[in-house]
Structure 1
Amino acid sequence: MFTAGIKVIKTEDELIIKWQLSEVKIPLEDIIEVIEDETYGGQSPDSIRIGTPYGTTDRIIIRTKQHNYLLFTTNKFTILKEINS
């Protein structure tokens, strides 16, 4: 799924997030929750940020056992659908 420069692919074992030249692989068993974040920079200052933060972009937090990932996107519904499928 490609949206706002972020490509999200869900396999049987992991969630793969690609943005520009970066690729992040998150084991599905490590994901604790996936939520929307209404704050500009994210609630957790130590989150790994993926995407470009604009005033109108949506924010999705992926909380895992080790890290929090903050995705900046213009199409949160498409990304959430791919993650939750």
Structure 2
Amino acid sequence: MIEVSVKKIDNNFIIRWQLLRVEIPANDILNVGLDDTYGGDDKEAIRIGIPYGTTDRVFVQTKNQTYILFTSNPSAIMKKLSA
């Protein structure tokens, strides 16, 4: 299974999964955390990754959009996004 990846380049975070590439300016991020619901609280959120029983969900709330990242390694993703 292909995992969601997050990299910080300059002042932007690049989220990649399969052919998807999302670029988020670091100063647009308002909140990052774990989402304990299956599909996420925000019904309009962009979901990245495959939701299955053992994945955790990390939400990234920006000024304009919320993203939910389905991952098996939430601590690594949250650490990168919190840097």
TM (norm. structure 2) is 0.93
CA apart distance, 1:12: 2.6
Aligned pairs for 1:12-51 within 5 A: 12-51=10-49
- Look up the equivalent residue of 2:22 and give its one-letter code: V
Q: Secondary structure at the match of 2:30?
A: strand
Identity of aligned residues (%): 46
CA distance in 2, matches of 1:57, 1:10: 23
- Cα RMSD of the aligned pairs, angstroms, is 1.4
1:20-76 deviations in Å (ceiling 9; x for gaps): 001000011110010110000000010000000011100000000000000000010
Instruction: Write out the 4+ residue segments of structure 1 that deviate beyond 6 Å after TM superposition.
Output: none
How many residues matched? 83
CA distance in 1, matches of 2:54, 2:64: 28
- Unpaired stretches in structure 2, ≥5 consecutive residues: none
Aligned pairs for 1:1-85 within 5 A: 5-85=3-83
